[in-house]
Amino acid sequence: MDEEEHEVYGGEIPDEGEMEGELDPQNADVDMSAADEDAVKELDEMKKRLKEMEDEAAALREMQAKVEKEMGAVQDPAGATANQASKEEADSRSVFVGN
């Protein structure tokens, strides 16, 4: 039989007989209880990190709201009125050129 080569893989395609030993569940030496414990431990660590990130995000949102509140209190109404007046003046001098 000619050596058959897979076009994507680039290697020769193994016969089914060669692969049987690899998939035999009786030959597998996997301790599922240890894998489960590791998965549970990893999941708990991920939950802990997620909780920490959520707490940090909440603290950042609180700090941002506090800064925005302080920035709003710092601006005086006279400055806002002057800014509005300059915008109106610029708008009155503007000409729209478009389709």
> Which CA distances in Å does 91 have to 23, 46, 80, 83, 94?
76, 54, 17, 12, 5
- Quickly list DSSP for 34-86: HHHHHHHHHHHHHHHHHHHHHHHHHHHHHHHHHHHHHHHHHS-HHHHHHHHHH
Take residue 74 and report the two structure tokens written for it: 């710092």
The predicted pLDDT at position 5 comes to 58
Give the pLDDT means over successive 10-residue stretches in the chain (99 positions).
58 62 55 82 96 96 93 67 82 82
pTM score, whole prediction: 0.41
Cβ partners under 8 Å of residue 11, min gap 6: 5
The predicted pLDDT at position 95 comes to 82
The predicted pLDDT at position 63 comes to 96
